Structure 1
Amino acid sequence: MKASKPQILLVEDDISLGQTISELLQVNNYEVKWCKNGLEAFQFLENNLPDIIVCDLMMPMMTGEELFLKIRNFRKFDQIPFIIITADMTFDNKIKQLENGVNDFINKPFKIQELILKIKNFLHYKETVVKQSQNPVSKIQIKSRKNDFFEKIDEIILKNIKSDITIEKLAKEIFVSKSTLDKKIRKFKEVNVSTYIREIRLNYAISLIEAGEGNVDTLANECGFNSTSYFSICFKSYTGLSPKKYIKQKIQGK
């Protein structure tokens, strides 16, 4: 069976430079996915895990720095080396990117041999050092990767718990399409987006009750419900008890 070629995600908005780099990488036996901006690259990364990312720093729609910070919110990208290409290699900018966690830099203009060698070295490191250090815990991490997506969604919902959280706003915040968001939630949580958001709100209400909150009006307001009556209906449907009975039960149980 023929071994697959390492896949490089190239993110470069300069058409001439992007085409040149892409062609030279392919000549050197790499599979290349070329995206013209950070947003396009982020959308590609929703369903793909390249072996390495080579990304321009200054781009429209989403910069290389913004892309890097976005993907580092998801553990599945932690072991993908990220190389920044930039003409702005001032000391302050370099320090900033290193503090962010970027793995390496390529200064424009550059010779392709430099990029090829850096890619080769990173891939060799992944193939040897990283694989040798893997243990049974890594299998658990792989199984839990899909949870990263929901951890990020839950974090966004909780930060905006008192606001009107729509599927449009949520999808925009995590840089996915509405249909992708809806499909993933339906697939893994078996509910639609609105129900998922409502359940997060209700679980938050339960946590407030556990912390000692006993006022139903306050609970409804703190959890982002427009009315106390609607909150009470949703709460009873979710827990089997009205908020007042749930609170009374908790008090009696103490």
Structure 2
Amino acid sequence: MKNNKTSILLVEDDLSLGQTLAELLDVNGFEVTWCHNGEEALKYLTNNEPSIIVCDLMMPVMTGEELFLKVRNFRKFDSVPFIIITADVSFESKIKQLQNGVNDFINKPFKIQELILKIQNFLKYKEKLITQSQSPVSNIKLKSRKSDFFEKINEIIIKNIKSDITIEQLAKEVYVSKSTLDKKIRKFKQVNVSTYIREIRLDYAISLIEAGEVNVDTLAIECGFNSTSYFSVCFKNYTNLSPKKYINQKIK
């Protein structure tokens, strides 16, 4: 019997494949909503929350990757599994999607049984998580919206650690205005946006040192600083130790 617990959002621009998948998923007992592109899917998601999203990677109007990144910016979809369908089997493509946070992907061509089993496994896992979340103890582990917001910002900065990400770009990534971003960071972190980005880079440098990196030039490059001297000055101001002294302290 169909119900909301087994609702699937299928996003596929190929009419033949989309029709086939929709029919086969329907036959297997799922309630399927088929959208033909990412924009259509976003409109549907405004008022609906499917149990799982199955989406093609390469589509006109909006790619599957773009749709996934937009969906994950909404907290209510955090627990909705997202499966990418792709004909690109390259290692780089797979790694990129996994780094983005996609739950799984299926390479074309594939058998419907593979998709059905993956969907069923995700739904069982999701149901288990929901059951656990209803325990009073689990409430202790719930994160605030403020925490979620800064985790997202940190994730974006780390993802672009080697590039000179601007305040405008960062604000765009989290779907807020530049002024709103600046106000939030000043309010909760007591620093401006530029300083916050720099401190995240320096924390990343410290984590690299902890992992065994001892070359200061490499640290500067890996953390997105334009020069080793500027990196050293910033690092000393942040930790009260020069990078070399900090490294020597760690390897003793």
| Fold shared per TM-score above 0.5 | yes
Structure 1 residue 20 and structure 2 residue 39: aligned? no
Structure 2 gap ranges (5+): 150-170, 191-252
Structure 1 residue 91 and structure 2 residue 110: aligned? no
> 1:42 is matched with which residue?
42
* Distance change in 2, residues 1:52/1:4 (3 Å): closer
Distance, in Å, in 1 between the alignment partners of 2:58 and 2:176 is 30
* Deviation of the 1:134 alpha carbon: 3.6
Q: Secondary structure at the match of 2:110?
A: coil
Matches within 5 A, 1:142-221: 156-159=175-178, 161=179
Q: Secondary structure at the match of 1:21?
A: helix
> 2:101 is matched with which residue?
101
Q: Secondary structure at the match of 1:19?
A: helix
* Deviation of the 1:101 alpha carbon: 0.5
Distance, in Å, in 2 between the alignment partners of 1:62 and 1:46 is 16
1:189-230 deviation line (CA, Å, top 9, x unaligned): xxxxxxxxxxx79x96xx89xx9xxxxxxxxxxxxxxxxxxx
* Deviation of the 1:138 alpha carbon: 5.7
* Deviation of the 1:49 alpha carbon: 0.5
Distance, in Å, in 2 between the alignment partners of 1:11 and 1:125 is 22
Runs of 4+ in 1 over 6 A off after TM superposition: none
* Distance change in 2, residues 1:44/1:110 (3 Å): same
> 1:31 is matched with which residue?
31
* Distance change in 2, residues 1:156/1:65 (3 Å): closer
* Distance change in 2, residues 1:3/1:112 (3 Å): closer
Q: Secondary structure at the match of 2:47?
A: coil
> 2:72 is matched with which residue?
72
AA aligned opposite 1:27: V
Q: Secondary structure at the match of 2:83?
A: strand
CA RMSD of aligned residues (A): 3.5
* Distance change in 2, residues 1:48/1:14 (3 Å): same
Distance, in Å, in 2 between the alignment partners of 1:138 and 1:43 is 31
* Distance change in 2, residues 1:131/1:67 (3 Å): same
Contact 2:37 2:61 in 1 (8 A): yes
Structure 1 stretch displaced more, 128-137 or 55-64 = 128-137
Q: Secondary structure at the match of 2:94?
A: helix
How many residues end up aligned between the 2 structures?
Answer: 163
AA aligned opposite 1:119: I
* Distance change in 2, residues 1:46/1:4 (3 Å): closer
1:84-132 deviation line (CA, Å, top 9, x unaligned): 0000021010000001000111110110010000001100111124422
